[in-house]
């Protein structure tokens, strides 16, 4: 059976060479198994046909009609070109509209003929319309599936024009099921299925493609999602027990001079309770003899840098060097300035390496690294280049870790024979279940407390038409001695998109806020590094009132006197980015404001994002919501998270309960391995293998 599913899809009846090539190119389906695991993304309730007259704005999102097409015609020119078919069913009329694939649809439409139409109803001038409906002529309709629910498969225009629309794919799955359905072999141990209330694989696959009823479909989805998540968790937990069982961590058993000197003489403020707790946790980790792997989550402005610095001092006190990597040059330089200032006259040698460091300076730093005289090295990803060699690297900090790929992170571990302790920090809070999956092998610390005296930032959503009021407010704040950021999604205008851009914006702001009374500086990715730095410094020193920038300032910029963050075309940014940008203000004790500008027309999701920003300052709440709105695949950084495969059905955001159940089951399988037969163990090993992060890892946990 396994062997049959490995066969090339071209051998399936109804496919052949040409369509096989298309399926591979468009959907990545190249074997029978790929098709079997190509699941519908939605189900049509084919048991119900609506009447046009009964459709209202309260009707379900998708509906099915049986209509006669009275006629059709093309309208508009160029990109506005559309095909409109006029349909009726005796109770009323509706318009069916297509903006693309017009030629293909036109060939298939016939005036006077009856069609089953499926799509999303909308109202335009009180007229019911359905944009890009699915269409099937009544004569051609295939037999309805038993439960009345029919799978809809996502497809592409190219495939559709080769008879492989959703319908076509459905037919292929039918053909495949005829041959392979009865021979599907179970992939999970019986005992595991029983304990977790899972239905068998064959039943699950059958119901995912041809649901018998809603309950069976739910069970099918649960079983298939569970299997994916269980496989991942098995791998993670195995990896973890592998790491913890090795006694190869550096011992930091001294809290020495540097740490104490800093703590008693240089700390500019009381540590928050959360900072103290996290430092304790790190200290606890570094005296176990195991290598530390810790994720530190803390909202923007919660004071992670200080925690990083004090941990690095611990390393230095124990005879090790430390380094800290940041994703942007701006942030790396900011860290350098902050840390040098905090250390003051202490005898700790700090250096920085970035992509723009001059050769002479770099050579000096590299030499002091290898002779051991440099204590702390800061920098960008330039740190991971091979020529950067440490005498004795014991502690690594990665700031804003979601900006780095797995490989970049991993290369820092190898800078010493024995792996250094690793602290990765992020201000983009990752919801618990996602962290459990993506960083399952990390221990997690959370700074859940902001430094005292911070006032919550006030956030407003303002339409472009109210711009003058925003300018007025900026002028007030500047008059009160404060500074303002204005952030744009684009540097220069784009024909395709109707978003504000920085060049235009800079012009209008300079007009509104003219020299010499006001000084406006610009920072964006296309500026030369020296220019960027000069402008940053002008703003930092309070010599510029307004900073016009792109989202390059999203991370790390720390100017406590700035009190207003204006974000132009805010609908264009993702939630976590908006939250990060907002975090650039409110870093001092004064009231700060975030103003989200948008056009009048907003998508539903765009609106939801802006509303969420107005409603809460809590990064964790926002990230949960972000996950729901976008699904885990889109969350920035998860692409690089290390999931080497694509989840076919589970969604790390929405299926958090299944993640928890799968994790518990995986832990149970490891703890109670004795209860499984040899055959079961082979199955478990295979599941883990299928969903493992990387093939190199060798964990013989199911032994």
Q: Which residues lie near ligand ADP (CB under 6 A)?
A: 269-272, 275, 298, 300-306, 427, 451, 558, 560, 587
Name which of 78 and 268 has its Cβ closer to ligand ADP. 268
User: If DSSP codes are grouped into helix, strand and coil, which group holds residue 458?
Assistant: strand
Spatial strand order of the sheet with 376-379 comes to 350-353, 376-379, 321-325, 393-398, 421-426, 293-298, 443-447
Q: How far is the CB of 303 from ligand ADP (least distance, A)?
A: 3
Query: Which strand (E) or helix (H) includes residue 302?
Result: none
Alpha carbon distance 61, 59 (integer Å): 7
Name which of 301 and 420 has its Cβ closer to ligand ADP. 301
Q: Of 176, 8, 141, which Cα lies nearest the Cα of 64?
A: 141
Q: Of 475, 486, 490, 500, which Cα lies nearest the Cα of 549?
A: 486
**What is the distance between the terminal CA atoms of the chain, rounded to a whole angstrom?**
27
Name which of 166 and 275 has its Cβ closer to ligand ADP. 275
Name which of 303 and 505 has its Cβ closer to ligand ADP. 303
Q: How far is the CB of 297 from ligand ADP (least distance, A)?
A: 10
Q: How far is the CB of 301 from ligand ADP (least distance, A)?
A: 4
Give helix then strand counts, H and E, for the chain.
Answer: 24, 22
Q: How far is the CB of 255 from ligand ADP (least distance, A)?
A: 19
Name which of 409 and 582 has its Cβ closer to ligand ADP. 582
Q: Of 384, 442, 76, which Cα lies nearest the Cα of 237?
A: 442
Alpha carbon distance 565, 584 (integer Å): 7
Q: How far is the CB of 447 from ligand ADP (least distance, A)?
A: 7
Q: Assess contact for 162 and 231: CB atoms under 8 A.
A: no
Residue nearest to ligand ADP (CB): 303
Q: Of 488, 493, 498, which Cα lies nearest the Cα of 522?
A: 488
Alpha carbon distance 447, 427 (integer Å): 10
* Vertex 500: Cα angle to 570 and 594 (nearest 5): 35
Q: How far is the CB of 306 from ligand ADP (least distance, A)?
A: 5
Name which of 211 and 301 has its Cβ closer to ligand ADP. 301
Name which of 31 and 305 has its Cβ closer to ligand ADP. 305
Name which of 285 and 399 has its Cβ closer to ligand ADP. 399
Q: How far is the CB of 558 from ligand ADP (least distance, A)?
A: 5
Name which of 440 and 583 has its Cβ closer to ligand ADP. 583
The backbone torsions φ and ψ at residue 122, rounded to the nearest 5 degrees and listed phi first, read -145, 165
Q: Assess contact for 575 and 439: CB atoms under 8 A.
A: no
Q: Which two tokens stand for residue 279?
A: 């430092």
Q: How far is the CB of 299 from ligand ADP (least distance, A)?
A: 7
Q: How far is the CB of 449 from ligand ADP (least distance, A)?
A: 9
Name which of 121 and 451 has its Cβ closer to ligand ADP. 451
Q: How far is the CB of 73 from ligand ADP (least distance, A)?
A: 58
Q: Which two tokens stand for residue 250?
A: 């550096």
DSSP result, 114-154: EEEEEE-EEEETTEEEEES-EEEEGGGPPPPPTTSEEEE--
């Amino acid at each position: 059976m396994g062997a049959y599913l490995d066969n090339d899809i071209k051998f399936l009846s109804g496919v052949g060479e040409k369509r096989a090539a298309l399926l591979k190119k468009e959907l990545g389906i190249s074997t029978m198994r790929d098709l079997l695991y190509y699941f519908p993304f939605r189900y049509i309730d084919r048991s119900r046909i609506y009447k046009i007259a009964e459709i209202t704005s309260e009707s379900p999102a998708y509906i099915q009609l049986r209509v006669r097409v009275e006629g059709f015609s093309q309208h508009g020119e160029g990109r506005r070109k559309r095909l409109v078919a006029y349909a009726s069913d005796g109770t009323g009329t509706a318009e069916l509209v297509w903006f693309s694939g017009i030629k293909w649809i036109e060939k298939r439409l016939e005036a006077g003929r009856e069609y089953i139409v499926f799509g999303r109803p909308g109202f335009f001038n009180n007229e019911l319309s359905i944009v890009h409906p699915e269409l099937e002529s009544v004569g051609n309709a295939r037999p309805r599936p038993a439960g009345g629910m029919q799978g809809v498969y996502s497809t592409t225009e190219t495939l559709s024009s080769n008879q492989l629309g959703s319908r076509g794919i459905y037919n292929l799955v039918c053909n495949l099921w005829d041959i392979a359905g009865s021979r599907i072999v179970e992939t999970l141990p019986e005992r595991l299925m029983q304990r977790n209330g899972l239905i068998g694989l064959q039943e699950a696959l059958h119901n995912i493609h041809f649901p018998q009823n809603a309950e069976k479909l739910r069970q099918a989805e649960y079983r298939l999602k569970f299997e994916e998540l269980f496989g991942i968790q098995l791998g993670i937990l195995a990896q973890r027990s592998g790491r913890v069982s090795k006694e190869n961590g550096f011992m930091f058993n001294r809290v020495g001079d540097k740490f104490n000197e800093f703590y008693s003489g240089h700390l500019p403020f009381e540590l928050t309770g959360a900072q103290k707790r996290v430092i304790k946790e790190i200290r606890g980790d570094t005296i176990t003899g195991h290598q530390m792997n810790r994720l530190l989550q803390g909202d923007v402005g919660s004071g992670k840098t200080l925690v990083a610095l004090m941990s690095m001092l611990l390393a230095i006190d124990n005879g090790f060097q430390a380094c800290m990597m940041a994703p942007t040059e701006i942030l790396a330089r900011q860290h350098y300035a902050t840390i040098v200032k905090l250390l003051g006259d202490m005898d700790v040698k700090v250096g920085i390496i970035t992509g723009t460091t001059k050769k002479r300076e770099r050579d000096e730093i590299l030499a002091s690294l290898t002779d051991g005289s440099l204590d702390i090295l800061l920098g960008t990803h330039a740190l991971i280049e091979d020529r950067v060699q440490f005498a004795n690297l014991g502690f690594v900090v990665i700031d804003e870790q979601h900006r780095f790929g797995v490989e970049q992170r991993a290369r820092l571990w190898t800078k010493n024979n024995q792996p250094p302790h690793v602290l990765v920090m992020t201000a983009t809070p990752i919801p618990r279940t996602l962290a459990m999956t993506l960083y399952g092998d990390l221990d997690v610390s959370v700074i859940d407390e902001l430094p005292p005296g911070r006032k919550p930032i006030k956030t407003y959503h303002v339409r472009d038409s109210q711009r003058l009021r925003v300018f007025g407010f900026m002028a007030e704040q500047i008059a009160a001695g404060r500074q303002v950021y204005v952030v744009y999604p684009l540097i220069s205008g784009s024909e395709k998109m109707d978003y504000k851009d920085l060049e235009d914006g800079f012009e209008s702001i300079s007009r509104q806020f003219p020299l010499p009374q006001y000084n406006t500086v610009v920072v964006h990715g296309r500026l030369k590094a020296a220019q960027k730095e000069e402008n940053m410094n002008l703003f930092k020193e309070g010599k510029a009132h307004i900073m016009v920038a792109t989202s390059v300032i999203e991370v790390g910029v720390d100017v406590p006197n700035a009190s207003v963050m204006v974000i132009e075309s805010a609908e264009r940014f993702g939630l976590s980015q908006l939250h990060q940008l907002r975090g650039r203000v409110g870093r001092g004790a004064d009231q700060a404001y975030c103003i989200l500008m948008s056009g009048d027309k907003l998508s539903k999701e765009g609106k939801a994002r802006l509303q969420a920003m107005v409603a809460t300052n809590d990064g964790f709440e926002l990230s949960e919501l972000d996950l729901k709105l976008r699904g885990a695949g889109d969350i920035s950084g998860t692409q690089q998270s290390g999931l080497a495969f694509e989840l076919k059905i589970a969604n790390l955001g929405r299926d958090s309960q299944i993640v928890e159940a799968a994790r518990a089951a995986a832990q149970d399988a490891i703890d109670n391995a004795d209860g499984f037969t040899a055959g079961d163990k082979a199955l478990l090993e295979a599941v883990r293998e299928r969903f493992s992060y990387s093939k190199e890892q060798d964990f013989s946990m199911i032994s």
